[in-house]
Structure 1
């Protein structure tokens, strides 16, 4: 790492550490737009970020882009500390601003969530805590969760919407329209109160029929896995995800909130509130990184991918896989 790169990283760290509370990225961009010089710098960095998303920048272009980025952040530092609200009406526009000022993110930046940390409803947090133990009453709690969802009009309507989108065959083909399926899934998870939406995702099970209902909640044959053909490589999946502001953000949120720690009783590095990791996990559903339960007989989850063909990035691929398969923060 060059000396200028070290200074740049220290500058970014000091901004994030010194900012009390978060500013919405759209508000930060509007404030920048009131200053013609700031707006011109932002537009230049925005173009750099778009080019970097397609292919690595050349040495000269990268140097010029980093100079523009430094000048922008020196003039309007709040752009680096701004955050977005997940599920908001202008979420994708906000995320575009967030990632534009970061150019091509490094691994450390992918572990900083672009979202405001919204406290989970205490009732929902208690329900999640209660569901962590497998029930011994023999009831199909996932069936009950689905019935409760149906009794709440908005939950029932949006659930029917995504089930239809994820089962309807597109243009006579023997497969669904995955993009429409994912969009409908996100609408359900973002617009239905967590008591109902997370209830059907994380209902506790003690028998296979319950587990099957839980596994099929997100219609795996469309949203989660390919019907035919081999699984994709996990790093290729991640690479495609990082080209999309929304998917990149949901992945960064998951990596941030679900980092494990052996020193914490919850297994999580960030032990600020119950349910933050599960909320971040649910945020991945409806993206190319959609995870799911791997069987009807356990609560183990995974991505639909493997590490074949990873070459010298084998360790990186396994590390990504294990965030889902061997993560005490998520499993606990």
Structure 2
């Protein structure tokens, strides 16, 4: 019976390996197949030990040679070709497998990303994330809403406000946006002295960007601005006082990257960014991989990690990390390389400027569904909405305003609000007001 079981396991493994040849396998599935074979299992467990020890302290030369030899022994194994899916339920497990079998990969290698390549439909969704005219909030408020949308200067419009309104009209976008605003502005209970729970804020931001279609989420991040008022709304979209900035002096960029490299998720998002936003040496294609949409997706993937980037001011679309190169000494060049990936990257600059101006490519597929306006939002007059875009400037004075906003969940749908009775109406109207005006947007 034991011999029969072993034979069946080998046959099953052979079929799985054969099935993985056509496309990059999922790393979790590839790991499962590897441990069915004695030789592969032994080598993989050794690499697991190497990765675990290296995370605690650097290995000695002899131990490192053994780890590199074990990695070399896996050449040709599907484990070295495996990929992961962004935002998948098993993403962290998958990424741990990916980096375990790539023990010797350096920090600045751009040849591969841990994630599967975006499909054509996904790229189209990103490329179509432009500023389209939003639905009228109500027939009675059309004239007043147009005056609110006016930015500084005649004929200009606050595109970031329009993006926030479109997000509010789409149920899932409004729900998850309210969730991360609450997570990033709520102060932890005493005796904690921090101004927010940064870990929860980052997790809620990742959840928003992973679950909201890019045609709704990306215009919030990359809306084109022609005035400081619009630029301030855009800069505050990710609640930078919690998700981006740190109290005190800016940390050294090398130390920030070191923390990122110790976390599989942050390391993977950074590698994906380096891979897809690598600039070309010659114009006119400023992105080496030829896709600004893939670069935007990779940049957005960094938001919600310790390497979260953001706009540096209200009057520019330049982005950077919250770090500096002071005190880098002989490592100044390596430190500057980290900063230049963001503030001197022509590929990233072109990708950000493309949102709001590039028309979508024609494709042979059904476009995403249009926004689903809520009845509460349609009846709401925009003149009654408070300006909460400046909430970061007065967090202490208005902290209680956010405590009355109930956090959304997957089940907090429009039908739930309608069935909540009269008592739920004030909460629904408050949420609609906050989302329509574009909290921190």
TM-score (norm. length: structure 2): 0.66
**Equivalence map 1:67-78=2 (5 Å):** 67-71=69-73, 73-74=74-75, 77-78=77-78
Task: Give 1:246's aligned residue.
Answer: 265
Residue of structure 1 equivalent to 2:415: none
Question: Which residue is equivalent to 2:245?
Answer: 225
Distance 2:36 2:349 in 1: 47
The number of residue pairs the alignment matches comes to: 306
Asked if structure 2 preserves the Cα contact closer than 8 Å seen for 1:136 and 1:206, the reply is no
- Which runs of structure 2 are paired with 1:103-142 in the superposition (5 Å)? 103-109=103-109, 111-119=111-119, 120-127=122-129, 137-142=155-160
Q: 1:128 to 1:20 in 2, by over 3 A?
A: farther
Where in structure 2 are there 5+ consecutive unaligned residues? 1-20, 133-152, 351-441
TM-score normalised according to structure 1 size? 0.87
The 3-state SS of whatever aligns with 2:236 is: helix
| Contact map agreement 2:113 2:275 (CA 8 A) in 1 | yes
What's the counterpart of residue 371 of structure 2? none
**1:123 Cα deviation (Å)?**
4.4
**DSSP-derived class of the 1:56 partner:** coil
**Which residue of structure 1 lines up, in the alignment, with residue 358 of structure 2?**
none
The more displaced of 284-293 and 172-181 is 172-181
2: CA distance, partners of 1:104 / 1:262: 27
Q: 1:110 to 1:265 in 2, by over 3 A?
A: closer
Give 1:14's aligned residue.
none
Q: Report the equivalent of 1:95.
A: 95
How far 1:107 sits from its partner (Å)?
3.5
Matched residue, 1:164? 182
Provide the C-alpha distance between the structure 1 equivalents of 2:317 and 2:216, rounded to a whole number of angstroms: 19
Picking from 144, 148, 152, the partner of 2:166 is 148
RCO (CA 8 Å, sep 6+): is it higher in 1 or 2? 2
Q: Distance in 2 between matches of 1:300 and 1:306?
A: 16
Whether the 8 Å CA contact 2:129–2:216 is kept in 1: the answer is: no
Q: Is the CA contact 2:276–2:298 (under 8 Å) kept in the aligned structure 1?
A: yes
SS of match in other structure, 1:217 = coil
Match of residue 187 from structure 1: 207
User: What secondary structure, in the 3-state scheme, does the structure 1 residue paired with 2:189 have?
Assistant: coil
- How far, CA to CA, are the matches of 2:253 and 2:233 in structure 1? 26
Distance in 2 separating the partners of 1:190 and 1:20: 27
Partner residue of 2:51? 49
SS in 1 for 2:310: strand
Q: How far is 1:266 from its partner?
A: 3.4
Moved over 4 A (4+): none
In structure 2, the partner of 1:297 is: 315
| 1:323 alignment partner, one of 341, 352, 365 | 341
Shift of 1:62: 0.9
Using the TM superposition, give the Cα deviation of residue 148 of structure 1 relative to its aligned residue in structure 2, in angstroms. Answer: 0.8
Which deviates further from its counterpart, 230-239 or 273-282? 273-282
Q: Please give the per-residue CA displacement for 1:118-175, whole angstroms capped at 9, x wherever unaligned.
A: 1334243033599xxxx99411111111111111111111111111110111123241
Work out the CA distance in 1 between the residues paired with 2:123 and 2:341: 25
State whether structure 2 residue 236 is matched by structure 1 residue 234: no
In the TM superposition, what whole-angstrom CA distance separates every residue of 1:170-214 from its partner, at most 9, and x where no partner exists? 123241010110000000000111111112111111111111111
Indicate the SS of the match to 1:241. helix
> Does structure 1 retain, via aligned residues, the 8 Å contact 2:24–2:83?
yes
Give the equivalent residue in structure 1 for 2:366. Answer: none
Partner of 1:309: 327
Structure 1 residue 255 corresponds to structure 2 residue 274:
yes
User: Larger C-alpha radius of gyration, 1 or 2?
Assistant: 2
- State the shift of 1:82 in Å: 0.8
Alpha-carbon displacement from aligned partner over 1:49-104 (angstroms, at most 9, x marks no partner): 11112221101211222222223x14x61111111111111111000000001124
In the other structure, the counterpart of 1:207 is: 227
Q: Distance in 2 between matches of 1:127 and 1:244?
A: 30
**Please, which moves more after superposition, 243-252 or 273-282?**
273-282
Counterpart of 2:113 in 1: which secondary structure? coil
